[in-house]
Every structure is written in C-alpha cells, then in structure tokens.
Amino acid sequence: MFKNVFGSGFLVRTAHVILTWVITLILFLHDTELRQQEETGQLVQPVLFVLLVLGSVLLYFAVSLMDPGFILSEDRDLQFTLGVTEEQQDMIPPTTKSLRQRRCGHCLLQQQPMRSKHCQTCQHCVRRYDHHCPWIENCVGERNHRWFVLYLAVQLLVLLWGVHIAWTGFSAAPSWQQWLRSDGVLLVVAVLLALLSLVVLLLLGSHLYLVSLNTTTWEFMSRHRISYLKHCGADENPFDRGTFHNLWGFYCVWGTVVWEQVYFREGSDQV
C-alpha cells in the first residue's frame, strides 16, 4: 500500500520537510504577527498555522508514499473478465489499435487496462495514470490523485498565509543597507513563498480543470499518441459524463473503475 520512506526519493522528501520547517521557524523568529501573538499569549493563529503546516507535511508523505494504482500481476486479465466483448471492441475504428493489443513491453502485461500507462521511473503500469511528479517522487494515479489535489489545496493555503505573515514582519529602516541586514532573510522567504504559491496555484487550477473534464494530464498532453483517443475529435472525450458527475466520481467514488465500460457508455461499475 505504501512505499518505503527510505527508498527512492528519500533526499527529495527530506529536503521538502527541512525547507518547510526552516521557513516556519524563520516566520516565528522574526518580528511577524505570529511572534507578536505568541508573545502576548494569543495562541490561536500560531497553533492553527503550525497544525496546517503539519497537515500539509503529512499529506505530502501520504501522496508520495501511497500506491498510486500500480497494476499487480493478478490484475492482468481484469478488464476482459468484466464484460468488454468482441462486439464492443469492434466499435473502435479499425485505424486504431484494438483493446486486446494494449500490451506493456516493460511489465509484460498482456492486457493493459484502459487509461493506464507504464512509468519508466517507477517501473510499473499505473491505473488512470496522470503524471509522474518529481517533487513527490511518485506517480499520480487512480488511488492518490484526489489526495494529490487535496495536498495542493492545503499547501496553497499554507503558502499564501506564509506570504501574509512574512509581509507583517517587514519593518522600516533608515537605509536600504540596514533594512536588508535586518529583513533580508525574511525578504528571501517572502519571495520564495510567493513563487511557490504561483506554481501551486497553477498546478491546482490545471488539475481541477482536467478533473472537471474527466481527463488526465497524460491524456490531455498526448492524446494524439493514445490508441483509444486517436479517433476522437479535438473536443471529444469519451470519459466525460458532465462536470457534476466527473467531480462526484473523482472525489466521492472509491475503488477501481472499469474504464472500458465507461468508454462504451455501459456505466462505471466498480470492482
């Protein structure tokens, strides 16, 4: 279910944790509103901020160590035991590969489930593959995608709050030299938090947009190379069931979805 915390990506995860808590410490050590409230005994906001930072770190580890939906050997014949018939396969134009020809030459999967892809970094095929994220050193797939979006939302809240806190710590000085000596570190932290906020905001916005369309980053970027999407028009998505149902299925439906059945409009029964 979870990866080894000391395995691949240990250095990246360690750097993430160290950077997070160093920045948090700087915000408390400088004369920001957090420190002022702590000194006056008003602990509600400082405690909430620390708990939010802790929550973001825990979500980071959960997403980075979670099984994103690796396809195990016992799952290889799953899709064709769930009602995908020869007649349904014939519905795909002959110019594209048939479903039975979706094989993985790396994992030696004879029947690769629809919307899955082999990750060269993780060395596994991943269900409903979205992308491989180097910052979490893990794939984003069927099992951890919703947690990844939640992590981005919490991280964005932490970053924006951090920018506000850093802003409250700036003080006036007679000259730029004196100001940089007193607030230079805080300035670096504020700029770093602002840049990270922009990056996370763009990531969160793009993922929410793709989720609302029931498509993935891989499908959005590489649809011209994906066998089951080649014959679709530029604006056609065989998995789109409307914004509400797409969001409901993403956030509220747990379990493995048989995307072959959704593709042929026969429902999305779970297994």
Burial class (CB in 10 A: 0-12, 13-18, 19+), 165: buried
Report in angstroms the alpha-carbon separations of 265 from 71, 128, 144, 247: 24, 17, 25, 18
Q: Does residue 196 register a pLDDT over 60?
A: yes
Stretch 167-175: mean pLDDT = 86
CA-based angle 196:198:201, to the nearest 5?
105
pLDDT above 60 (res 264): yes
Per-residue pLDDT tens for 240-255?
989 999 999 999 888 8
pLDDT for residue 69 is more than 80: yes
Checking if the pLDDT of 96 tops 80, the result is: no
* Mean pLDDT, range 74-95, rounded to an integer: 46
Is pLDDT above 60 for 78?
no
Asked whether the beta carbons of 109 and 129 are under 8 A apart, the reply is: no
| Confidence band of 1 (pLDDT split at 50, 70, 90) | low
pLDDT exceeds 80 at position 74: no
C-beta separation of 125 from 117 below 8 A:
yes
How far apart are alpha carbons 144 and 150 in whole angstroms? 10
Residues labelled as active-site residues? 133
Local confidence band at 193 (pLDDT 50, 70, 90 cut-offs)? very high
Residue 182 has pLDDT above 80, yes or no: yes
Please tell me the predicted confidence (pLDDT) of residue 5.
Answer: 57
pLDDT class for 76, splitting at 50, 70, 90? very low
Q: Is the pLDDT of residue 102 over 70?
A: no
Reported confidence tier of residue 188, pLDDT bands at 50, 70, 90: very high
Predicted local confidence at residue 79, as pLDDT: 44
**In this predicted model, which residue has the larger pLDDT, 115 or 265?**
115
Predicted model pTM: 0.84
Residue 126's pLDDT is 93
Which of left, alpha, beta for 101 (phi over 0: left; psi -120 to 50: alpha)?
Answer: alpha
Q: For the chain, give the secondary structure using H, E and C.
A: CECCCCCCCHHHHHHHHHHHHHHHHHHHHCCCHHHHHHHCCCCHHHHHHHHHHHHHHHHHHHHHHECCCECCHHHCCCHHHCCCCHHHHCCCCCCCCCHHHCCECCCCECCCCCCCEEECCCCEEECCCCEEECCCCEEECCCCHHHHHHHHHHHHHHHHHHHHHHHHCCCCCCCHHHHHHHHHHHHHHHHHHHHHHHHHHHHHHHHHHHHHHCCCHHHHHHHHHCCCCCCCCCCCCCCCCCHHHHHHHHHHCCCCECHHHHHCCCCCCEC
What integer pLDDT is reported at residue 101 of this predicted model?
52
Model confidence at 7, pLDDT cuts 50, 70, 90, reads: low
